Amino acid sequence: MISAEREAGSSMKIQWKRIFSMGLRFGSAVVLTFALAVSSGCGREGVAASVDTGGAEWLTSLGAATKAATEKKVPILVDFSGSDWCGWCIRLDKEVFSKAEFQDFAKERLVLLLVDFPRRKALPADMAKANRALAEKYDVQGFPTVILVDADGNELARTGYRPGGAALYVKHLEELLKDAGKR
């Protein structure tokens, strides 16, 4: 039984490596197009240390998120996303993360970290490597995976897409944070 579990885990890691390497096989034209889109303010995904969507600011660096969470004394919401190909990720962004109810809540109670695995655009090699390391550290098995962590990186709670919009998602996050505080 244990060897079967190890074999399955090893197989999963190999599959992850294949998925991640697929995202890195795009040419420089895609990188240039993506960089231009980000610099013009398109989307919440980006290659910068942070992306401001006019509401809540999404950081793309764990170091920056950890520093901000320590200063604000709030947890980090880590969004593991396939922003340009994962249907549930796109729905979560459109139905929750882009809405004022969520953004107002996040500004006061969270630091936001986007860990993206796009397929149609290339990330800088160092960001892609850091994102893979975070996905492995937190054993992310699918997208979207939303994990609440403290400033030290300790997992507090895990969730994903939930129907019902921003107001219900905020209520869900409040419950998760309340339960995490009881531990």
> What amino acid is encoded at 66 in this protein?
T
CA dist 168 and 131 (Å) reads: 28
DSSP for residue 44: S
CATH assignment of 2-182, given 3.40.30.10, 3.40.50.10490, 3.40.50.800, 3.40.630.30?
A: 3.40.30.10
Report, in angstroms and rounded to the nearest whole number, the Rg of the chain calculated over CA atoms: 16
- pTM for this predicted structure: 0.73
Domain locations in the chain as residue ranges: 2-182
Q: What is the pLDDT at residue 51?
A: 53
- Helix 100-109 and helix 165-182, axial crossing angle in degrees, nearest 10: 20
pLDDT in tens, the chain (183 residues): 444 444 445 444 444 444 444 443 433 333 333 332 333 333 444 444 655 455 689 999 999 999 999 999 999 999 999 999 999 999 999 999 999 999 999 999 999 999 999 999 999 999 999 999 999 999 999 999 999 999 999 999 999 999 999 999 999 999 999 999 876
97, 143 Cβ separation under 8 angstroms: no
CA distance 85 to 80: 13
